[in-house]
Amino acid sequence: MADISKDQVKHVAHLARLAITDEEVEKMTKQLGDIIKYAELLNELDTDNVQPTTHVLDLKNVMRKDEPRKWIEKEDAMKNAPDQQDGQFRVPSILE
Amino acid sequence: MSLFEYSLKEIQEKLHNKEISVSDLVSESFNRINAVDHQINAFLTLNEEEARNKAKALDDQVGPNSSILFGMPIGIKDNIVTKGLRTTCASQFLSNFRDPLYDATVMDKLNAENTVTIGKLNMDEFAMGSSTENSSYVKTRNPWNTDHVPGGSSGGSAAAVAAGEVFFSLGSDTGGSIRQPAAFCGVVGLKPTYGLVSRFGLVAFASSLDQIGPITRTVEDNAHLLQAIVGHDPMDSTSANVDVPTYSESLEQGVNGLRIAVPKEYLGEGVDPEVKAAVMSALKVYESLGATWEEVSLPHSKYAVAAYYLLSSSEASANLARFDGVRYGVRSEKAENMIDMFKMSRSEGFGDEVKRRIMLGTFALSSGYYDAYYKKAQKVRTLIKNDFEKIFEKFDIIVGPTTPTPAYKIGEKIDDPLTMYADDIVTSPINLAGVPGMSIPCGFSSKGLPIGLQLIGDHFDEKTLYQFAYAFEQATEFHKKLVEVGGGK
């Protein structure tokens, strides 16, 4: 599997919604490449018959009743918003 | 003598006898912070006015039935949400998050015990790091020697307790972030079993690994603080519904006849000789108390760090998607459309290490790589978990070092992510297996820096950890050595 290319780094940055500079692309390509190469260590292990662990407790589909309860008031929910209008979060245009 | 050198029990007695007041305790905190925090930088936000007002109100309420934590000054890691008190995760992204809307479950529980929140403690940004150098605000310094790191990511939480700025604190631990700074700062830190403490209101880093835990000066105080924050929480679907023992009751049960496993992988290459010697001396102490020990193997240890970074970064890349500049946090002013707004806000708000981990996680989860990296790491996690299960069939506890070396110098490792990651070899397997781990002071290096002994138990067996920790503490003097801030150089 080995190396990660600059184009891959740019693609991953787009997926991660990060704007990265050309300089950062250079640096990330090297650093991610090193970390991924290190992670190849796991390929020493035969895991064909091993079940993956997603988490350690024996819990499945924890559900609770869908009941309305008092929680945050709408105006409180807006308190930390960077921009708002008429009680709604305001964002830049989505469609061209 | 600082009031914080007394135990919880002694302080409560003084409160009841009116020798001291809650206001005295809170003043002790702020006086100490004013005297030494400019050298340590443990705090990001102080809660002085609120804390002093709360103390005044509590002064009239001291009574025979008040909680053992009544009026105690506590510091909170800045990734635990505190209603109305700025919560930044040491990130620029949340620099304007001044007014959180609710309290984390652990805060509700502490408030019910009438503790007093002194302020929010520095950390690596979003808990990603091992030295607190990744804070986007300030570098916290080790109180034992301010040229050295306090460890991380809960570096502020450990340094504040070591320096006597608060009586105790809460940290969080995803791959060692409570135990490693506790070791570097010479205090007691516990990462509880996954699911024992509610994560509701802990800003998520890696949801299958994160746990909140107590940092204290002594073992007994640690047991009391843990007791206050455990329990099932309907607001956290991964919270375990288990019976909780009274931890303080197990303290004096001793270790006679109990069996210790010592993994050879935890004392191998890369472990500083002074650290190894301190661990071996600790084992002698346990022998003298009637316990036996045997060398064992956790054969998949060397794969833990790689599996840990793939899994924790993958989970982080999903968890940190919520920071989009819409509902809270900073927003870039430069963007003209929505996607650019996300990208530019995140790039301006996140530091290098956070970006690196989001990138690694996004890569490991991306189409074509998911099976080779993410799923592979999950399978290796199973092997690591099985290693621990096998040991606990025959042994009561696992003992080893908390860190391969004592605290290193500020700047020594920050430019080389892989070297710093490698230090997690003795702490991250514990999170992958979900078992509890604790660090207690077990010695000092020739340079006067603390060394931590790590105690690892079976799932939900914190009781045995406290038993071992208390027995060691009572038999030794390491916890009695106090920091002289600014000394040690």
DSSP sequence for A2-26: ----HHHHHHHHHHTT----HHHHH
Q: What is the pLDDT of residue B376?
A: 97
pLDDT in tens, A68-85: 988 889 899 999 999 999
Nearest CA in chain A to B210: A55
What φ, ψ does residue B212 adopt, rounded to 5°? -85, 145
In whole angstroms, give the CA distance from residue B24 to residue B34.
15
Q: What is the number of residues in chain A?
A: 96
In whole angstroms, give the CA distance from residue A53 to residue A59.
12
Q: Is residue B377 less than 8 Å (CB to CB) from chain A?
A: yes
**Catalytic annotation present for B66:** no
CB–CB contact B328 A82 (8 Å): yes
Q: What is the pLDDT of residue A61?
A: 82
Q: What is the pLDDT of residue A16?
A: 98
**Catalytic annotation present for B23:** no
Average pLDDT over residues A35-57: 94
User: Structure tokens of A16?
Assistant: 């991660």
Give the 3-state secondary structure of residue B391: helix
Nearest CA in chain B to A65: B234
**pLDDT tops 70 at residue A96:** no
* pLDDT tens digits in sequence order for chain B, 489 residues long: 899 999 999 999 999 999 999 999 999 999 999 999 999 999 999 999 999 999 999 999 988 888 999 999 999 999 999 999 999 999 999 999 999 999 999 999 999 999 999 999 999 999 999 999 999 999 999 999 999 999 999 999 999 999 999 999 999 999 999 999 999 999 999 999 999 999 999 999 999 999 999 999 999 999 999 999 999 999 999 999 999 999 999 999 999 999 999 999 999 888 999 999 999 999 999 999 999 999 999 999 999 999 999 999 999 999 999 999 999 999 998 888 999 999 999 999 999 999 999 999 999 999 999 999 999 999 999 999 999 999 999 999 999 999 999 999 999 988 877 777 888 999 999 999 999 999 999 999 999 999 999 999 999 999 999 999 999 999 999 999 989 887 776
Segments in B168-210 forming alpha helices (H): 179-185
Q: What is the pLDDT of residue A85?
A: 94
**pLDDT tops 90 at residue A63:** no
Q: What is the pLDDT of residue B415?
A: 81
Q: Is residue B376 less than 8 Å (CB to CB) from chain A?
A: yes
- The active-site residue, picked from B77, B109, B413, B463, is B77
Q: Is residue B346 less than 8 Å (CB to CB) from chain A?
A: yes
Environment class of B288 (CB within 10 Å of its CB; exposed 0-12, middle 13-18, buried 19+): exposed
CB–CB contact A39 B337 (8 Å): no
Q: Is residue A96 less than 8 Å (CB to CB) from chain B?
A: yes
In whole angstroms, give the CA distance from residue A23 to residue A44.
34
Nearest CA in chain B to A61: B237
CB–CB contact A42 B377 (8 Å): yes
In whole angstroms, give the CA distance from residue B460 to residue B462.
6
Q: Is residue A2 less than 8 Å (CB to CB) from chain B?
A: no
Q: Is residue A91 less than 8 Å (CB to CB) from chain B?
A: yes
Nearest CA in chain B to A37: B306
**Catalytic annotation present for B489:** no
In whole angstroms, give the CA distance from residue B229 to residue B459.
17
Q: What is the pTM of this model?
A: 0.97
Residues of B in contact with A9 (CB under 8 A): 359
- Determine the Cα angle at B424 with ends B420 and B426, to 5°: 145
CA nearest neighbour of B22 among B68, B56, B65:
B56
Q: Is residue B101 less than 8 Å (CB to CB) from chain A?
A: yes
Q: What is the pLDDT of residue B180?
A: 98
Interface of A with B in 71-90 (CB under 8 A): 72, 76-77, 79-83, 89
In whole angstroms, give the CA distance from residue B128 to residue B373.
20
Q: What is the pLDDT of residue B254?
A: 97
CB–CB contact B380 A45 (8 Å): yes
- The active-site residue, picked from B29, B130, B153, B301, is B153
Q: What is the pLDDT of residue A3?
A: 78
CB–CB contact B350 A39 (8 Å): no
Environment class of B448 (CB within 10 Å of its CB; exposed 0-12, middle 13-18, buried 19+): middle
Q: B295: which strand partners?
A: B262
Q: What is the pLDDT of residue B28?
A: 98
Instruction: Among A20, A45, A54, select the one facing B383 at the smallest CB separation.
Output: A45
pLDDT band at A2 (very low <50, low <70, confident <90, very high): low
